[in-house]
Structure 1
């Protein structure tokens, strides 16, 4: 459900050994990266265009290596509710390694080569799972062994991804001017979600209709996704490189207006009360959301016994609503700030799980209620994902922000992993209503998680009490 900036960036990564990797990163380019402060407007424009195309192909990759297609693949193999919970908790839990990735990345001299060396190898790791699926299909291997191999692959790729994501976010923060962030990321995410809208149903029909069965069909879809993932990385060669040792032109301008333009570090973060409150909100929100979010597809596939083709169509409705609303939310965020939208739209997201309890397998639910819920989810999550990422950029320091992004990801990962794991155990062992009871519990916890937002100070954000004045 959560489709953040990192989600559409190169997600899965492989880090170079520290002793050799940093040297390779520093010397790989034929010419050193230009200081970001000297980048021209055409270079910025071409970089943002390339990043958008990168996001489009990355959306194809992430649509197959996560979400409903991967969940259905594991369910076809006989995965339990706990294993479905692990599918979602592993990517969040390994975010604890993001501070390590930020530490390494901030000591290199090239965002591009650090990012490329990590993410290209990581995406190729999915070829191992493709080989395993082929062996299973042709030699009738043990299904549970393939479940374990899939979870192991998810663990490895996301460990590597956690080491590279802070560098990617910092690279984008350096390239996108402050005043354009809402509109640009709205446009980028819209393009990616439009691709998701088209591709996921096609892959869903491919998997469901493949003559060799759904498991073999997923292997074919995964092969195509890896190709798309590698193509997306090729467009990073068009993006202007950034040297993290040199302040960008946007950071220089912001530093002049900043009363305390300190470089980000663990020490300054510990004294930054505003960012600490944000961490409390972000971690609590991720716990509350992921208490139930990974289990909506499980509810459709297992409890309602819907065909995977129906579920992929619903997923596309979510992507379509997300696509239509992103540009609107982006412009609105630039006008009134990110915090007001997080509060107002967050309240709508909080009560959404209660509405799922009213669904069933009847015609009204299948044709009206479930499509409406997915449209609502896509529209509201567009604001949460966009503003959640942008507010981090707004309240973090002008330099050394990678450590701030990494700590935020680590805290959110911890909260999300605990929430997903708790939700999995609740469904597996609690005899108190199953998934509907979990949805109700999640709604209450989501409302509580919004409270810290009222105490966060965002520059140039409109106060909540004057929002409708």
Structure 2
């Protein structure tokens, strides 16, 4: 049942795609019921420390690096379906462990078990993602891949909406008493485990094509190291690493801040997450148009400061009087954060592709994903320790007016614990903007031009009152594509940067000839294109 097939008929392929839709719906339900805010809510419910929450937030990010060594395992075993199905099944064995955590009497033991379950869940999931990506890329025809991805995303969105509402209602009930909370969290993770079994069973019904014949590929470490030899790409990696560290230093702890410091319920926090995601989806297409018109660097120069401003503004939430006004303030912040986050995610992904040499984009994306995962994963760990440091410190700023009748305070601001911590995160983010300015991207324009265009588009949108469709953007490690790259282009990356140096140092005429010679190795579309190439080569010579 888990064996690869030498031949897959059209009917078998269609049947496999239908089962992949079932897998998508079940897997999305697990994410909505058991991950993200719900997992942090469980940690808060059992009384986990801030440091433990930092580790919990880091695990999903750091485990992404496991996909790199899995490339070698997939190529050696050459049974992607077996690796994927067994991987997702083992990963979802963590869900019953989650379900038992609320009933462990010792808070310390419960926290350790929770962290171990998260390592099992996210670690094995990340490792199996590499084989899944390669498998599905070979199964689904290239001309149907876009339609397949959109359908799978639609199924996931519908299920996620229902599961999110269910989780919100359940988390509201869990606030009533500790005993009821124990049962509700346990029920959520048992339900997730049932969906996990459905997902694994559906995935087992999907056929797997036999992998291409083994060939001597480019060494994996060479593929991942080559991008670091590109000076401009190193500048991009410095920006990505500094940005991911600064943002993930604070954002994983927003939930802790909302619940413990501001006193909001977990249902409200989950609603904020949904609002932010909706804003992200609604604005991603507009950011795409901006990046096409003004380049990705210019888009990042606007979206990144806007996001950092929201992080800094989070420090003033406790100063807003009244629960209703404070809730409105947080909702507005999450709308802006979701919208600006869409711009950062889209432009950052696009600029990686744009700065990658032709034919080597996959290795550049893989290196970028590993650097991002390490920077983003280490930030919550540092943040967990730093939050406890700031808990015992306070910064006060006051502006007083002294007169014969007494002293009148004109302005008084106090930053303590989380407020101080969020401001520090925003300040560190300013360094990432400095790193962004060093990146060279053709066609970059001044920030004020982008801002002016945003305001113009916003006025037009308000006048038209039109709904804006969007895409769910996710940046992941391209394990499946990296396997293909190792098979089909072992020599390309080996000589890539040496060729660039020779062309750059050559006289203009030689550089033009070298560029034409490089295009000669590509497959001409037809005879006319081939004849045109010969004429251009003859003219350049």
DSSP-derived class of the 1:358 partner: helix
1:252 maps to: none
Of 329, 337, 352, the residue aligned with 1:369 is 329
SS in 2 for 1:126: helix
Whether 1:77 aligns to 2:46 is yes
Q: What is the CA–CA distance in structure 2 between the aligned matches of 1:165 and 1:397, rounded to whole Å?
A: 26
Tell me: higher relative CO, structure 1 or 2? Use CA pairs within 8 A at least 6 residues apart.
Answer: 1
1:210-236 superposed Cα distances (whole Å, 9 cap, x missing partner): 684112211111122233344445665
Does residue 297 of the first structure (1) align with residue 271 of the second (2)? no
Displacement of 1:436 after TM fit? 0.7
When residues 111 and 276 of structure 1 are mapped into structure 2, their CA distance, relative to the original with a 3 A threshold, is farther
What is aligned with 2:5?
31
For 2:365 and 2:132, locate their aligned partners in 1 and report how far apart those are by CA, in whole Å: 10
With the length of structure 2 as denominator, give the TM-score of the two structures.
0.64
Partners of 1:43 and 1:463 in 2: how far apart? 48
Flag the 1:278–1:55 CA change in 2: closer, same or farther, 3 A. Answer: farther
Give the match for residue 7 of structure 1. Answer: none
Map of 1:447 onto structure 2? 430
1:350 CA displacement: 1.8
Taking the aligned partners of 2:285 and 2:77, their CA distance within structure 1 comes to: 34
* Secondary structure of the structure 2 residue equivalent to 1:357: helix
Cα distance 1:352–1:132, how it changes in 2: closer, same or farther (>3 A)?
A: closer
> Is the radius of gyration larger for structure 1 or structure 2?
2
Quote the offset at 1:444 in angstroms. 1.8
Match of 2:33 in 1: 64
Q: Kindly report which structure 2 residues correspond to 1:158-237, keeping only aligned pairs within 5 A, or say none.
A: 158-168=122-132, 192=156, 195-209=159-173, 212-232=179-199
| Structure 2 CA distance for partners of 1:231 and 1:397, relative to 1, 3 Å | farther
Shift of 1:163: 2.4
1:294: Cα distance to partner? 0.8
Name the structure 1 match of 2:494. none
SS in 2 for 1:213: helix
Separation (CA, whole Å) in 2 of partners of 1:199 and 1:123: 17
Whole-Å Cα distance in 2 between the matches of residues 454 and 46 of structure 1? 50
CA offset digits 1:175-201 (Å, max 9, x no partner): 7979x98x9978866764564444224
**Distance in 2 between the 1:331 and 1:155 partners?**
39
Which deviates more from structure 2 when the two are superposed, residues 375-384 or residues 282-291?
375-384
Deviation at 1:88, TM superposition (A): 0.9
1:354 is the counterpart of 2:323 = no
Show the 5 A alignment for 1:382-401.
Answer: 382-389=342-349, 391-392=351-352
Residue 160 of structure 1 deviates from its aligned partner by 2.1
Partner in structure 1 of residue 407 of structure 2: none
Which whole-Å CA distance do the structure 1 matches of 2:148 and 2:286 have between them? 11
Q: Distance in 2 between matches of 1:108 and 1:86?
A: 32
CA contact (8 A) 2:92 2:196 kept: yes
SS at match of 1:29: coil
Which whole-Å CA distance do the structure 2 matches of 1:58 and 1:381 have between them? 24
Deviation at 1:30, TM superposition (A): 4.5
Gaps of 5+ in 1: 1-26, 248-261
1-structure distance, mates of 2:245, 2:188: 31
RMSD: 4.3
Q: Quick one: structure 1 residues 213 and 240, their matched pair in 2 at CA, closer, same or farther if it must change by over 3 Å?
A: same
With structure 1 as the length reference, what TM-score do the two structures score? 0.73
| 1:29–1:56 CA distance, 2 compared to 1 (3 A) | same
Contact persistence 1:197–1:317 (CA under 8 A)? no
Q: Distance in 2 between matches of 1:372 and 1:50?
A: 40
CA distance in 1, matches of 2:201, 2:298: 37
